[in-house]
């Protein structure tokens, strides 16, 4: 089998697993985004505006970006960590004639597809809630790339963490700051310059900014989109490096 195509059995395994739990996965994937959308979109959306835009229209792209983070990361991170630390199923990948890059590609594509579908459902709910956004091909390209970023981050976390407590700590120190500071609920331009510089180093920030600029008809922000693609490459390479190290051990 071609080395590149060896990712497919891993990807197929993840798809079969998700098919058996499809209803629970989809419901669980949209509960938190719906709560955010209801609270910030309907609760505040008609009362305030940001930059002349209705707050519901402003916050929807940010919540979609946040959903790509949570669903892509969670669909891979916890499950892969359990398979590695408890069931030792990851050892099957290690002894198989599969390169770490193929292992990562299979896991990341499965997680990214999960996150993308969840975001697509959330987008439909946003329209039902009365949001007015413009969708283009670039919007979906950036969104899927975002899912790749955070699915790769899930692989990294699964390799780094040696217990459930470590996974929880990783989420607290890495994901939680991005959730509230990554341009999801308010524009980062209003922050002090030092804080803004730090926030722009988070992968969620260019994703939120790019999606919001596209759907509000403000054009394609070239530099932030380049940042999104750069983060996808960085996270994927980092995931391959971490899997390679665990395979060597």
pLDDT per position in the chain (249 positions), as tens? 565 677 888 888 888 877 777 777 777 777 777 777 777 666 665 667 776 678 888 888 998 999 999 989 988 888 888 888 887 777 777 777 788 888 899 999 999 998 998 888 888 888 887 778 888 999 999 999 999 999 999 999 999 988 888 888 888 898 998 988 888 888 888 788 888 888 999 999 999 999 999 998 888 888 999 999 999 999 999 999 999 887 766
Q: What is the pLDDT of residue 225?
A: 93
Q: What is the pLDDT of residue 4?
A: 61
Boundaries of domain holding 67 = 3-248
Q: Under a CB-based contact definition with an 8 Å cutoff, are residues 208 and 184 in contact?
A: yes
Q: What is the pLDDT of residue 234?
A: 96
- 203: how many CB neighbours lie within 10 A of its CB? 23
CB burial readout 84-93, b (16+ within 10 A) else e = bbeeeebeeb
Grouping H, G, I as helix, E, B as strand and the rest as coil, residue 245 is helix
pTM of the model: 0.89
How many domains does the structure of the chain reveal? 1
Q: What is the pLDDT of residue 43?
A: 64
Q: What is the pLDDT of residue 204?
A: 94
CA angle 187, 203, 121 (to 5 degrees): 80
């Amino acid at each position: 089998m071609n080395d590149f195509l060896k990712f497919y059995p891993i990807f197929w395994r993840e798809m079969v697993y998700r098919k058996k739990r499809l209803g629970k996965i989809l419901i669980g994937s949209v509960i938190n985004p719906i709560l955010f959308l209801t609270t910030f979109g309907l609760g505040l959306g008609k009362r305030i505006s940001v930059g002349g835009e209705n707050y519901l229209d402003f916050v929807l792209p940010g919540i979609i970006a946040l959903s790509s983070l949570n669903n892509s990361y969670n669909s891979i991170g916890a499950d892969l960590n359990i398979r590695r630390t408890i069931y030792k199923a990851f050892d099957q990948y290690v002894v198989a004639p599969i390169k770490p890059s193929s292992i990562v590609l299979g896991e990341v594509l499965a997680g990214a597809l999960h996150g993308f579908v969840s975001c697509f459902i959330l987008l439909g709910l946003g329209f039902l809630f009365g949001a007015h956004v413009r969708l283009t091909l670039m919007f979906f390209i950036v969104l899927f790339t975002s899912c790749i970023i955070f699915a790769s981050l899930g692989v990294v976390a699964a390799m780094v963490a040696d217990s459930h407590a470590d996974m929880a700590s990783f989420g607290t120190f890495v994901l939680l700051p991005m959730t509230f500071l990554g341009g999801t609920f308010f524009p980062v331009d209003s922050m002090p310059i030092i804080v803004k510089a730090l926030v722009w180093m988070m992968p969620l920030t260019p994703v939120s900014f790019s999606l919001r600029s596209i759907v509000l008809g403000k054009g394609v922000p070239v530099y932030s989109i380049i940042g999104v693609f750069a983060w996808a490459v960085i996270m994927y390479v980092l995931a391959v490096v971490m899997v390679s190290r665990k395979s060597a051990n």
